[in-house]
Structure formats: structure tokens, C-alpha cells
Structure 1
Amino acid sequence: MAGQIQDGLGRVLEGNVSMLEKAMSAFGEVAVDQDWSADEPAPRIEKPRTIARPMEVSAPGTFSKNAIRTLRLEPTEMSGWWLQRSDIPDSLPIKVSIRNVWTTGEIVSNIVLRSGSSHNYVRLVEHIIALKAGMDVDNLLIKLDSGDPPLFNEGSKELVEAINSAGRKELEGKVRYFTVKERVSLLTPHNGVLLIDPADEGSLSLDIDCVRDFPNAIGKQRIRFVNNERSFLHGSTARTNTTARQKFLVSTVGKLFPESRNLGYNSKNVLIAGKSKYSNTPTHMHEGKSLEAAWHRAVLDLLAALALIDEGRFVGKIIDYKGGHYPDVEMVKLLYAHDLLVEV
């Protein structure tokens, strides 16, 4: 079994214990800005569901801003979510699974899934696959016309609306739920903490306590919520965030690098944070403060990692402080590597 067991931290899967303890202390000092933790969890689903009819959504590409990219959503009886490149003849669909994660990006942090050939990949999948963990669709086939998905102006709002417009169809079988066997934790690259507790006995709730902490206009933001229809729809419209400096570098020096040369970030589809104020208008205002960065992180980034648990739906309690795609994916990988998942 991995790691040592520490009071308050549970089984430490990665990172220095004293640094983790400092991170937990710093996390606890951040005031809660918005608290939806008393909400009812999403209802239990017994039979797996797919969409009732195909739908298409299009927008400029994430990494090819001058090209329109299309996602075609199709019903399927294949278990889980699948991505298929229609531009690569005879390519196998890529299952949304921790087993198919290729990288979490370097210049632009994002989850890249791949199956078989190195050409058969899809970049920046997190804002798509988060819907697997946040909506009542267990099986879905998504066809793409390239490895570069569209980048929408309001998070994943258009994709959520398309799935809801498609309706649902029940399939044979049974939905499975998983949680961790015990408390687990790891240290993030920015000296934060990702900690997961098992679900309470008899509960199928996923509870998230998320903190963003940046030395810029974003500052400290903390939200607590239960993953259900209200919280997911609210968070799914939050844009990813970048700094004004990063945006400037991508638009100048970044043109020298293939990974960022045609990156489609603009003032509509990302939140741009300067040192003391935003360069564009933030959303998700609560009591005069924008919580857009926290909602995006918790719903469209963190839930994407949970979607990589491909056997079923994840339930439990999560603390996320200074997290990111790399520690998210590392956590899921270690849960599998050390047999720390259990079916509820």
C-alpha cells in the first residue's frame, strides 16, 4: 500500500508531509465565499443513460483559432464516454479513461487523451469530459473533425445545452458508484493539497471544497458545494483563466511555439487577470466578488479528472487547494495503482 498514514492527511500518496501540513493549515485559513454544501446530492441513477438523439456543436478551435471545429454527440451502448477522430480513417475511438491519458501539457496545461497511434489524440479534453462526471449521461460517443476541440465563449455552456436538448435514453445494465477506501492526499506542484475522503455510509454525494489562491486579481476564492444539477450548471459556464502576462506572451513570443502559436484565447472565452484587476469582465459574481476562477477549477477541471474513473461515477469528499491538471490526473492514477477505489 502506498505512502504513510498521517493524522489529518490520511494516506499520503505523494509529497512531503510537513509541506502538506502547511498547505492544509493555509487552506483552513481561507474564508468561504459561497457555500452550497447543504444542497441535496444528485439523485441516484440505477440504469445507465445515453442521449436520445445526435447533436452537433461548433466553435473556433482551441489551438487553431481560424478554423471552426465541430463535436458530434451520438448515442451509444458502449460503456463510458468515447472520443473518435473522424479525420483519421479507421482510427479506434479513445475511451475517456485514466489509462488513455497521454500528457497534461507543458506550455498550455490541459489533459490530452490518446489511444494507439501518436496521431490519434485529442487535446484539452477536460472541458468536455467534465460533463461525464457532472451530468446524467453515462455512455456517449463524441466524434471530432480534428484533435483540436472547439473553445466556447462561456465555459462548456453550449455543450451542456446540446446534451440537455438531446434528451436521455435508458440502457440495460446498472450504474456503478465508486469511492476511496480511506482518506488519501498528495502535495500539488504549487505547495497545495488535494485530499479525498470516502463517501459517508449510505451516501452517494460528491462534496467539493475548492480554493483558488493567486497573487493577482483572482486572489483567494473558496467555494463549497454538492455536485448536483444546480452547481454543475452554474460552474459549467465559468471560463478558464490566464494572467495578463501569459496572454501577452502567448500573443507574442508564443507564436514561436506550435503548442501556443494559434491558441484561440481572447477576451471573450477566457478570464484575464492582471495584477490588481481583470482585463475583461469577470462573471459568477457573489456579494460583489467574482468567483469565476474557483467555479471553473472545481467544475470543469477537477470533475474532468474524476471522469477518468471509467468504471462508473465517483462519490466522496474532496478538498482542493492550489490544484491543477497534473495533480488531478496523478491522484486518479495513484488510486488505481494502489487499489484504493472501492465500489459503493
Structure 2
Amino acid sequence: MQTTLGGVVTLSGTGVHTGRPARVTLKPADADSGIRFRRVDLSNGTRSTVVKVEHCNVKTMQLCTVIGNADGVTVMTVEHILAALAGMGVDNVYVHINGPEVPILDGSARDYVEAIDRVGLVTQSVPRSFIRILHPVRLQIGESIAEFQPHHRQVISTDIEFTHRDIGNQSITFEVGGETFREQIAGARTFGFLAQAEQLRAAGYGLGASLENTIVLGDDGVINDNGLRFTDEFVRHKALDACGDLALAGAPILGRFWSHRGGHQLNHAALNCLMSQERAWEWVGGDNLQTDTIAFDKTPAEVPEFAYAT
């Protein structure tokens, strides 16, 4: 069955790219509402200030995920809050935001998860619908690869490769939802490289980034005083981002999503590729779904060679 929040929660912080103060208030929503952002800093006038979470509303994926409506109203950096909502199984919520960007908080989804836990979930009387993968769909862009594969659960597998010695090659597989997301994924923070900071800020990005909300890597390693929360925090955060980006499908995806050397742009391109191939997926109700779970796995996913190349 669908769910919504059991109460209202508000979180405040700074936009990691704009550097501006930001506040979001999450409110319960009726069944079948989905996730809808409302820019409360803008007057309604003749244009809508509401942006619904749908893959067709993605405007850009350059360093963060930006969604917008037909009237030009946008919301930046939605991936962490969407990951928290997806990971905690929230179907319907109104997100009121007082500016153009969602607050970065500590750089992870942990604060959003804790806020959801404080008010709890309410089960609604309408069944939840899923997008079930029927056939594999693969997209390759250069050395980056993403693939959706049939699976009876919501599974994300992520592999990353970086030349920096503190990252290297890392892999993770997890099931979206429940304790695994809360304990193993939600707390993983965004990361960046000190050598690129000046260039990013000159381009108008990362104006609110700090050691309080970003893992920063210098030539000699992580420069944050408290180090890492997980030895493989980098791939866990990439998996968190993928979880949030896939929430833009508008419904949970029953299948395994695998990405290699991925990021926001690959995630979105892969989701668009999937949705365009209507024979590769179907809508299905939540009744009689298998209830066994997969184990949390830090080894690379076994990915078959079959695919629909695009």
C-alpha cells in the first residue's frame, strides 16, 4: 500500500551550489499525489510554483539533479531528499521550499531519514504501483555503463573507478528500502577534490560547500578532521545519488540497476532509455510480490552480457 508522512517536518541549511540559506518543509499528501515540490518563495501569478517528481521534468544533471515545470520554475539538488524518500518507502509528500535549492545539510541523506523517522509513516488505502523490468536495457556512454536487469526486488549495484589513491575501485550492491538504506547508505556524504574547488566556484558551483557538508580530497588524502564514516563512503554516496535519481521514474522500480563509472547524467540518460522502451517494462501492483530480501554486498555485481544497446 502507498504511504505518506505521519506529520510535518522542517529542515534548514545551505544550498551547496548557490550558497544561499535554504529551508524545506515536508508535509503529508493524499494517495496518488506522488512527490511534489512547491517554491513558496514565488508568487503564483499566472505560473505554477509546483514541480512534480517525474523523469520528464529533469532540466539538467550537471553536478546535481535539477527539476522544473513548464513555467520555468526549478528546484536544484533534489537527489538526496529523493533518495531518503525512496529509501524509506514514502510515496506521497509535499515538499515546500523557500528558494531554488534543497539544503545540503551534512552532505548525505541522514538528516532527512531521521526527520522521516521522527514523524513516522502512515499507510494509505491505495495500492502502490511498481515499474517492473521485463527485459535488460543497457546504455553506454564512453567508459560509463548503466543497465537495468529483471529482478524481483529493488536493487542498486554501483561500481566506481577513480585514480585518487583514497578511492580507487569500489563496488556496492544494496536493496532500496528499510534498514539497509538507513544504516548503510543514507549517511554517505558527497565528495569533491580540492584541486577542482576553485574552478567549480568560478563556474558558479559549490558556493556553499564546506568541510561540514563535503568530503574533500587533497593530494595527500581526505582533509576532513573526522575522516570517513565508511571506508568505502565514496561508492556508497554514488549509490545514494542513483537511488535519488531513479526516484524520478515516479514509482519504485522492481529490477536491478547497475552502473559503472556513473553519475547523475548517466543515471538520467539510462532512466530515459528505459522509459522509451515500453516493451522492456510494465506497471504492476504490489500484491503478491516476493518478500525475500537480498544481502548487503560490497563485491562487484555479476552483470550479464545481454543488452539492448542504444
Normalised TM-score (structure 2): 0.84
Secondary structure, counterpart of 2:13 in structure 1: strand
- Given that 1:196 and 1:319 are in contact with CA atoms closer than 8 Å, whether structure 2 keeps it comes out as yes
Paired letter, 1:197: Q
Per the alignment, residue 329 of structure 1 pairs with 268
Q: Matches of 2:134 and 2:85 in 1, distance apart? A: 22
Which ranges of structure 1 fall in alignment gaps of 5 or more residues?
1-46
Per the alignment, residue 161 of structure 1 pairs with 114
Identity within the alignment, %: 24
Q: CA deviation at 1:154?
A: 4.7
Secondary structure, counterpart of 2:275 in structure 1: helix
Q: CA deviation at 1:131?
A: 2.2
- Given that 2:175 and 2:181 are in contact with CA atoms closer than 8 Å, whether structure 1 keeps it comes out as no
Secondary structure, counterpart of 1:331 in structure 2: helix
Give the aligned CA root-mean-square deviation in angstroms: 1.7
Does structure 1 residue 103 correspond to structure 2 residue 60?
yes
Q: CA deviation at 1:245?
A: 0.8
- Measured against aligned partners, the alpha-carbon deviations of 1:233-281 in whole angstroms (never above 9, x if no partner) come to 121111111112112433xxx34x3x32x61111121111234522224
Which ranges of structure 2 fall in alignment gaps of 5 or more residues?
285-310
* Structure 2 counterpart of 1:265, from 209, 213, 220: 209
Q: How many residues align?
A: 276
Q: CA deviation at 1:162?
A: 0.9
- Given that 1:70 and 1:144 are in contact with CA atoms closer than 8 Å, whether structure 2 keeps it comes out as yes
Secondary structure, counterpart of 2:108 in structure 1: coil
Q: Matches of 2:213 and 2:53 in 1, distance apart? A: 25
* Structure 1 counterpart of 2:237, from 284, 287, 296: 296
Q: Matches of 1:139 and 1:154 in 2, distance apart? A: 24
Does structure 1 residue 240 correspond to structure 2 residue 240?
no
Residues 154, 99 of structure 1: alpha-carbon distance in 2 compared, 3 angstrom cutoff: closer
Q: Matches of 1:214 and 1:188 in 2, distance apart? A: 17
Q: Matches of 1:214 and 1:330 in 2, distance apart? A: 22
Per the alignment, residue 180 of structure 2 pairs with 231
- Given that 1:215 and 1:275 are in contact with CA atoms closer than 8 Å, whether structure 2 keeps it comes out as no
Secondary structure, counterpart of 2:266 in structure 1: helix
Residues 228, 52 of structure 1: alpha-carbon distance in 2 compared, 3 angstrom cutoff: closer
Paired letter, 1:237: G
Q: Matches of 2:195 and 2:42 in 1, distance apart? A: 37
Per the alignment, residue 144 of structure 2 pairs with 192
Does structure 1 residue 249 correspond to structure 2 residue 202?
no
Paired letter, 1:306: L
Normalised TM-score (structure 1): 0.76
- Given that 1:212 and 1:294 are in contact with CA atoms closer than 8 Å, whether structure 2 keeps it comes out as yes
Per the alignment, residue 27 of structure 1 pairs with none
- Given that 1:104 and 1:325 are in contact with CA atoms closer than 8 Å, whether structure 2 keeps it comes out as yes
Per the alignment, residue 51 of structure 1 pairs with 5
* Structure 2 counterpart of 1:84, from 38, 53, 56: 38
- Given that 1:238 and 1:284 are in contact with CA atoms closer than 8 Å, whether structure 2 keeps it comes out as yes
Paired letter, 1:76: A
Secondary structure, counterpart of 1:315 in structure 2: strand
Q: Matches of 1:188 and 1:235 in 2, distance apart? A: 26
Q: Matches of 1:154 and 1:147 in 2, distance apart? A: 17
